[in-house]
Structure 1
Amino acid sequence: MIDRTPLLLLLLPALVFLAGASLPADGPLPSKKPAETSAPVSRAEAAPAKDGEPKAAEDAPGAPDAVPTPKEKPDEPAASPSAGPAPKPDSKPEPAAQKPDETPQEPATTPKTEPAPPAPLAIETEDPKAYAQCLTDLKAMGATFEETARIDDGKGCGIDKPLVVTDILPGVTLKPKATLRCEAALELARWTREAVLPAAGTAVPEDGALTTINQASSYICRLRNNAATGKISEHARGNAIDIASFTFKSGKTIAIQPRDEDSTLTGAFQRAVTATGCLYFETVLDPGSDEAHEDHLHFDVLQRRGGYRYCR
């Protein structure tokens, strides 16, 4: 039989120790969950921990990220008494309030100005001394004419002291009679005596003396070339005359027409009287100038700067 006494002696102290180390009446309880604040602080907003201090719970390893809550809109600053209402976001600023003593300012605009109407054309007034001398010279050349009443047809048309000329030289009739200013009549008389009569005597001596100058237009109120718009014609001032043809004692008539290539004496006569016309008149237009003058010579005494003459 085995003696178990030594074994019991060894186990006895262990049993006594275990009996004294009995479990406590209450076991360990888990730590209480810290109370949640109304707005948890996120990691980004947590202040960094000083050295030696434990990290905040949000920064502890394994701790779940706190769900951020939207920040409350900061209170708008109170408007100062002198400032106007704060502008609304994403809206155009309202115009500043008008002071009571200010009047609304109209936008600056450039006033439209209507073009001034053209000044009415005036009828040239004859210089009394020059007019008297012109009458004396015209009578000395043997012209037949009569003075008539002032013509004023409006729009600048008219003659201050018109003459109605029947014969431009003794024996040389204007047909029909022409209404002209004295200056135009005098130049026509000089041209006829000093240029036309000698050219006719050389070119067509067999036809006898020149008896008639057939004119197509003297005074008439119109624009140049009978146009609807443009400058007033010198005919409307009594300064111009159109010559259509020449008639001789034999009855022969030389009509004005294009004769630049006419090699006959008739062609030479027309070219001669046309060219000499520029010695007496400031403007000479012949059939070669334009279509409006294919059947007559236009002469006028329009004065230009520097004595310039227009001859075509």
Structure 2
Amino acid sequence: MREFRKTAVLLAALALLPGAKLPRTGPVPQARPEAATEAPAVPQPEKKPETEEAPKPQPEAAPEQKPETIPPASEVPTPQPKPGETSPAPPSGKDELPPVPPEDQKPIRPGELTLEQQHLTIEPESDADHAQCIRELQSLGIVFREIPRIDDGNGCGIDKPIIVSQALPGITLKPEATLRCPTALALARWMKGSVMPAASVALPESGEITTINQASAYICRLRNGAETGKISEHARGNAIDIASFSFGKGEDVAVRSRREDSTLTGAFQRTVSAAGCLYFTTVLDPESDIAHETHFHLDVIKRKGGYRYCH
């Protein structure tokens, strides 16, 4: 029965096919739902012949700039600091220099003062210490005389000066020297304890020392005779310069550079120079510098902690 029905329907459909007509326009296809999210196709630019060069884009013209006018420095207002604030320091640069003070206001560095600028005073000496020193000079047989106080101004002078003519009995100090008593005492002790024994060992054929030739004792000046600097110990009576020694028989022994002198004379000078530090607080010899190449500088300046400078 079912097969009969199917056959009947099929025959009816075939009978209608000859009169059926197709529509002039078909249905427009619709995009799938998932295809709607895809990016649309990008149109490709039209290709030009290879011989044609694409025009280059031209840069936009920059706007015309007017030159900036800088007002003169005199017309520029100086910023003033607010109350409670300090003025900022100017920026540092190669071309910036600090202002130069007037000549009469320039700071003077320590050690660059003249005698007139140092305003020094003479150091007073204890009466008891001076009396004790005089007694020791007398016990050693030193020939000297006391003179009144020397005050040459600007710190130059000696409170209780003496003039020494013989450093020890039979040993003339030439020329006679104006010194403080402690300086004369140190000289006598050095001669008796070191110089005379060294001479008797190194130069026995020369005989005994007869004269100490001194180059400088008291004199009002700065160190090394400079125009500026610290005051010399010579200006206080604390120093004496020894230029040579004279002997009874032999030639004088001049103080000069003897570092490479391999003779007994060289050994004598090096020995007495080194021994000087046992009696003086400063010893400068010809090996020290050019200012002392012809003499010993010996002084009794007091330093902190008993420090001594010997070169």
TM range (shorter): 0.5 to 0.7
Q: Secondary structure at the match of 2:249?
A: coil
Report the counterpart of residue 8 of structure 2 in structure 1. none
Aligned length: 205
Amino acid in structure 1 at the alignment position of 2:211: T
Answering whether residue 306 of structure 2 is matched by residue 307 of structure 1, we say yes
Q: Say if 2:202 is the partner of 1:198.
A: no
Q: Cα distance 1:119–1:272, how it changes in 2: closer, same or farther (>3 A)?
A: closer
SS at match of 1:278: helix
- Tell me what 1:282 maps to: 281
CA distance in 1 between counterparts of 2:212 and 2:180 reads 18
Aligned pairs for 1:1-312 (under 5 A) are 120-312=119-311
2: CA distance between counterparts of 1:287 and 1:281? 17
Partner residue of 2:95?
none
Please give the alpha-carbon distance, in whole angstroms, between the structure 1 residues aligned to 2:120 and 2:154.
6
**TM-score under structure 2 normalisation?**
0.63
Q: Quote the Cα distance in structure 2 between the aligned partners of 1:119 and 1:212.
A: 37
Q: Which runs of 5+ in 2 are unaligned?
A: 1-76, 78-85, 88-100, 109-115
Counterpart CA distance in 2 for 1:240 and 1:129 is 22
Structure-2 separation of matches of 1:231 and 1:253: 33
Q: For the residues of structure 1 that align with 2:280 and 2:152, how far apart are their CA atoms?
A: 25
Q: What secondary structure is seen at the aligned counterpart in 2 of 1:263?
A: coil
Match of 2:278, SS state, is coil
Aligned-residue offset at 1:203: 0.6
More helix by share: 2
Shift of residue 251 of structure 1?
4.7
Which 4+ runs in 1 deviate beyond 6 A?
114-119
| Alignment deviations for residues 56-88 of structure 1 (CA, whole Å, 9 cap, x no partner) | xxxxxxxxxxxxxxxxxxxxxxxxxxxxxxxxx
Provide, for residues 6-57 of structure 1, a one-character-per-residue CA deviation record: whole Å limited to 9, x for no partner. Answer: xxxxxxxxxxxxxxxxxxxxxxxxxxxxxxxxxxxxxxxxxxxxxxxxxxxx
> Contact (CA 8 Å) 2:213, 2:246: kept in 1 or not?
yes
1:155, CA displacement in angstroms?
A: 1.0
List per-residue Cα deviations over 1:186-215 (Å, max 9, x = no partner).
000000000000000001111111100000
Segments of structure 1 that go 5 or more residues without pairing to the other structure are 1-91, 93-107
Pairwise CA distance, 1:119: 6.2
Secondary structure of 2:280's aligned partner: coil
Give the structure, 1 or 2, with the largest relative contact order (CA under 8 Å, sep 6 or more).
2
CA distance in 2, matches of 1:142, 1:124: 27
For 1:264, give the aligned amino acid.
T
Query: Following the alignment from structure 2 to structure 1, what is the Cα–Cα distance between the partners of residues 304 and 204?
Result: 40
TM-score w.r.t. the length of structure 1 is: 0.63
- Greater radius of gyration (CA): 1
Compared CA separation, residues 215 and 118, structure 1 to 2 (3 A): closer
- State the AA in 1 paired with 2:278: L
What secondary structure, in the 3-state scheme, does the structure 2 residue paired with 1:219 have?
A: coil
> Deviation per CA, 1:151-177, whole angstroms, max 9, x where unpaired?
111111000111000001000010000
Contact 2:205–2:250, Cα closer than 8 Å, also in 1: no
Letter in 2 for 1:256: V
After superposition, the CA RMSD in angstroms is 2.4
- How far apart in 2 are the matches of 1:136 and 1:246? 27
State the identity as a percent: 63
